[in-house]
Every structure is written in structure tokens, then in C-alpha cells.
Chains A and B, each alone.
Chain A
Amino acid sequence: MSDAIIEVRNLSHAYGDVLAVDNISFSVNRGEIFAFLGPNGAGKSTVINVLITLLSIQAGEVSIAGHDVRTAPDMVRRAIGIVFQEVTLDRDMTVREILEFHGRLYNLPREERRARIEELLALVELEAKRDARTKELSGGMKRRLEIARGLMTRPQVLFLDEPTIGLDPQTRIRMWDYLREVNRTGTTIFLTTHYMDEADHLSNRISIIDNGRIIVTGTPLALKNGLGEDVMYMETSDTAGTEDVLRNLAYVRDVRQKRNGTVFTVTEDGTRLLPAIMDDVRQRGIAVTAVNLKKPSMDDVFVHYTGRDLRDEGARKWGAGRGRSR
């Protein structure tokens, strides 16, 4: 048995004429936090829905925790927990009833159900809300309750479709803490997001997905370093001379004047090159008065690979996305 708990090979999915997922392959290792990062309509939810057996698989192979979604969907269902993109809580059931219902659906014995509910209410800090109806919860509390529900059955993999969409920054950071905690106890996490920082800070590995295809996969660090585009800024006593020095270095590109300094990019890890560059400049008798080094952000990675900025789309989405609880 390999280390992969999710194996996807050549998965495609179409809605009528619309090809939403176009021949993607990836695998997630046991114990990982793995993120799909992509703009609206990229196909993230479609992939998740096939993986969790809500959509029947059209083309390709998917195996979850060793079970094929095509031939053993029931085994897959028993092995996973799910947090859907939209809120799926009955407005008029209480927090405890939501968890109780889920536990019964999966046939947890009564004792285990009770114990598990207490344990999870403590984890997501909803003990005080145990008898509140879900319509009385804030957005963040609802999301926490849904995470607790997804964990009721001690799944091997927890799937989360945009877990923090619409939550305020503090709540999102708390949510990441919960998810890290869950992950520490051995649950593999597969999430989708269109938030750069979420993918960056929370996940061990990221696949950037756009137009139904995976464009690149890697750890956040590798993706950012892989761009090889560290941007540097340098102020010196002789700007023209500095420029001259820089142009003769093989790993320097795009030298430009900016205010009283020089901006340039380097094609290798800037933190290691900077001391040598400064030495070269000083050797020409030029004094270095200020330097700055900027590593590429996840945004830069995204723009680089998709040729688009995702921020505006993310902001727009928000209005339409949530609030579908009943």
C-alpha cells in the first residue's frame, strides 16, 4: 500500500457540453493538508463532489483510503467526512441534534455518539451553544459546527469545500488552528479555497487549478521559490555605477531605476545572492545605504501561472456564495 490516501488519475467531468474538470491527476499523502487553489468556476467543487461520491464518476480513476469510488462508494463514504461549500444545517435543529443526526446516519453506537459529541463540541468551542438552534449561530459558529459534524465519524480524510469563505480574518485564523489540530490527530485534510493566504499558511501542498486543469502542484515554499523572481531594491551612492555592476551579473534581470534606487529581480534564491551582490557593488567603491528583498507571494505565484489576479474575483464571489442554510 502506498502512502497516498487519495489517488486521482485522468479525472474528467462534464455538465452537458461544459467540461468542468479536464483530465486531472494528483495524489494526496496520508496525514497531509492538501489544497486546491483556484478562481470561481475552476472546477474545485466538481472535483470534490466526485471524490465524495455525490457526483458519479464519468471518466478516470479515483481511489480514497484504498476504495474505488466507482465500485465501492459505500466504503468511501464511511472513510470520509465532508464540509460542503454552502451551509447545510437545518435551521431549526439544535447544535446537539445536528451532530446526533449525523452520528445516527453513520450508525455510531449511542455511547460513542454521546462521547463524540461532547469531545467535538469542546474542540470547536460550541459547548455553550449545545441547545441553540443553528439559525441562532453566527457564520463562524455554523462553520465550526459543520467541521465538528464532518469529524463525528472519525474520518480518515476530511474534505472541506471553501471552509472559511465569508468569515472575518480573526475567525479564519482560528479556523485554521482547528484544522491544524484536527490534522495533528491524524486526519488527512483536502480543502479547496480561492484565498491565497489560506493555501499558503494552512496547507502542506497546493495544486493550482484553473479552467478544470491542474496547472502546478507543490509545497507553498517550492511554488514561491520556483518562480525564481525575488525582487530586490538597493540604494547606493552611485546609481549609474550600481546599474553597471548589476548588468554584468548572470543571475540578475530587469534592472530599473526607481526613485533614488535600483530595482532588479534575480533568478535564484535572493537571500543567498544578496551578500555577494553587495560585495560586488562595494568593490567598485560604491557605498550601499539601503537594501530590501521581497520574496514572491502566493499572489505572484498565482498571477504567474494563470496570468490573472484572483483577488477581485474572490471578493465578488462573496456576495453570492453563502447563506443557504434553512
Chain B
Amino acid sequence: MGGRAGEIPVNVGFATVYWRDMLRFFRFKTLLVSSLVQPALWMAFFGVAMSSNFDRLSAGVMPGAGIEQIGYLTFMGAGVIAMTTLFTSLFGGVVILFDKNWGLMRELFASPIPRTHIVLGIGLSGVTKAWIQSIIIMIFGLIIGVQFFAGYTPVDIAIAVLGILIFVGTFALGFLFLSATIAVSMESPEGLQGIITLLTLPIFFTSNALYPTTAFPPFLQALAVVNPLTHLINGIRFFAIGSSFSAIGIEFVYTPQIILTSYLVLLGFCVGTFLLSRWAFNRAEVT
């Protein structure tokens, strides 16, 4: 008798949660299409418009000898990948709020899977979406003139893309855990939307997505240094453009130490938000 209830197989609950979330993602065609088209549009309009301005402003500045000069569109391409990942991940937790409000979370909370697997499943599906988006942006960017991977061999490109995806994945997980934590603790979608908007703007504008942070006043510069978005963008630029280049008249040098530090910051952020979400999910009650 006790046999059938007694055996506890290896738990892959997160894979089940992941499976369902992906099912939903591919089922809602409008959601799917809009989440893919939106970053491309950003790139097309904002990128092209801004780059014509910036490129004219910085046209007279000559880079130092041997330093590669890159256009604003290329500079900003990394920012668009990062920004899209930020938005997608911060909103990734909304599904948890819906599940909770519509009672669907009960099935999960009353099942034997550990609560952390719910967070992990949602996190992994968010990472998958972020990866798909990033790849689309890179392809679309290359088409409209972003000079990523210039002069790379195919092996270099493969390594660079892998590096970018690792950075994007770690960053996305961190913000998905954060978003899930907020979502499981909130009652209404409006409240969640408010908090997310409140978070996005400062994160976005104190980062180096659209402009370098070197000219910031010290206070903002401090924010930029702890801002995960800045570190994600460092990683993307390092892999996609190179370890030293000049853009908008400013020289950028990314040493391996800088990049390693940036990755460790992202990893730390990810671990921190995971612990936070574990705490929030274990104390959450859903009835």
C-alpha cells in the first residue's frame, strides 16, 4: 500500500513548469510575434535615428592610433539587446501573478514539487525567450548595418555568441527571479506594473545602454557601477565588438578582468534574487 505513495523519484518539477510556459508562449501567436518584432522596431527607428545624429556629432573626433572606430548603431545594438532582455525578464513574473489570481497556482502549490522549482521553471522559460529575442536582434541588427563580429572567424563568432548568451541568460535569470518574487507577493497586476516601471526607468537610464557613463556625476556613476544592466552591456560589447574600440568619441577598453568582474556581478545578482524568491515562495500562501 505505502509503495505507491512512498517512492519519491528524482524531481524534475522545474522542467514541467518550463514545458507549460513554453507551450503558452508558442500558443499565443500575437504575444510571440510582438515580443519578437518589438526589439527589432526599437533597433530600426531609435537606432537609426539616433545614430545619424551621434555619428555627425562625433565625426570630427579622431580615435587613437590602432583603435577601431565604431558607429553609434553598433554601439547601441548591445544596448537594445540588454534593454529587451531587461523588459522581458522583469515582466516574466506576470504569469505568476495571473496564475495566482486565476487559481492555477493552487495546483502547483498543492503538488509535491518544491516551490523553488516553480521559480526555476519560469526562470528558464524566461531565459529561453530572452535568448530567442537576442538572436533575432543580432540577426536583424546585422541586416540593418550593425557591425557586430567584424573581422571574426566563424569560430570567433560562435564563441562570441555563446558568451553573449551566457551573459544574457544570467542577467535574465536574475531579473526573472526578482520579478517572480514581486509577483508572488502582490495582489494586483496594476501594482506589479507600477513597481516594474519604477524599476526599469532608473536601471535603464543609469546604464551605459545609450551613452557612456563616464560623463555622469559621481552619484549616478556609483549607480551605474552597481547596475546589472551596465555589466550585461559590458559583456555584450566585449564579445560582439571587441576588447577595445572607440564610439561617440570615447575609447572603451575591456580587459578580461573587467569582463570577469562584470560576469561575477551578474552571477551574484542572480544568486541573490534566487534566494529572495525562494524565501518569498516558501512563505506565500495561495488559497
- Tally inter-chain residue pairs, CB-CB below 8 A: 78
B108, CB-defined interface residue at 8 Å: yes
The range of chain A's interface size is: 35 or more
A55-B104 in contact (CB<8A): no
Contact with A along B12-56 (1 / 0, CB 8 A): 110110011001100110000000000000000000000000000
A54-B5 in contact (CB<8A): no
A88-B16 in contact (CB<8A): no
B107-A102 in contact (CB<8A): yes
The stretch of A78-86, A190-198, A269-277, A305-313 that contacts the partner chain:
A78-86
Contact with B along A6-18 (1 / 0, CB 8 A): 0000000000000
B residues near A243, Cβ cutoff 8 Å: none
The verdict on A77 contacting B287 (CB below 8 Å), with A101-B20, A156-B5 known, is no
The verdict on A77 contacting B111 (CB below 8 Å), with A55-B287, A101-B16, A107-B11 known, is yes
A residues near B110, Cβ cutoff 8 Å: 52-54, 77, 82
A106-B112 in contact (CB<8A): yes
Tell me which residues from 1 to 16 in chain B have a Cβ below 8 Å from any Cβ of chain A. Answer: 2, 4-6, 8-9, 11-13, 15-16
A residues near B103, Cβ cutoff 8 Å: 84, 86-88, 324-325
B111-A105 in contact (CB<8A): yes
B5-A78 in contact (CB<8A): yes
Main secondary structure of the interface of A (DSSP, over half): loop
CA distance A66 to B287 in the complex (A): 24
The verdict on A54 contacting B106 (CB below 8 Å), with A107-B9, A154-B4 known, is yes
B residues near A92, Cβ cutoff 8 Å: 24, 27-28
B23-A97 in contact (CB<8A): yes
B102-A54 in contact (CB<8A): no
Closest chain B residue to A73, Cβ basis: B112
Q: How far is the CB of B121 from chain A (nearest CB, A)?
A: 10
- B112 in complex: contacting residue of A74, A324, A325, CB < 8 Å: A74
The verdict on A105 contacting B102 (CB below 8 Å), with A54-B285, A55-B287, A92-B28 known, is no
Task: Jot down 7 A-B pairs with beta carbons below 8 A, ordered by A.
Answer: A52-B110, A88-B103, A90-B24, A90-B104, A92-B24, A101-B20, A106-B111
Give the 9 A-B residue pairs with the shortest CB-CB distance, closest first: A326-B102, A104-B16, A88-B103, A77-B112, A79-B5, A105-B111, A107-B9, A78-B5, A74-B112
Told that A77-B112, A325-B103, A326-B102 touch, could you supply 17 new A-B pairs with CB distance under 8 A?
A49-B287, A54-B106, A54-B109, A54-B285, A54-B286, A75-B5, A75-B6, A82-B110, A88-B102, A88-B104, A89-B104, A90-B104, A92-B28, A101-B20, A104-B19, A105-B108, A107-B12
Residues of A within 8 A of B (CB): 45, 49, 52-56, 65-66, 74-75, 77-79, 82, 84, 86-90, 92-93, 97, 101-102, 104-107, 154, 156, 324-326
Residues of B within 8 A of A (CB): 2, 4-6, 8-9, 11-13, 15-16, 19-20, 23-24, 27-28, 98, 102-104, 106-113, 285-287
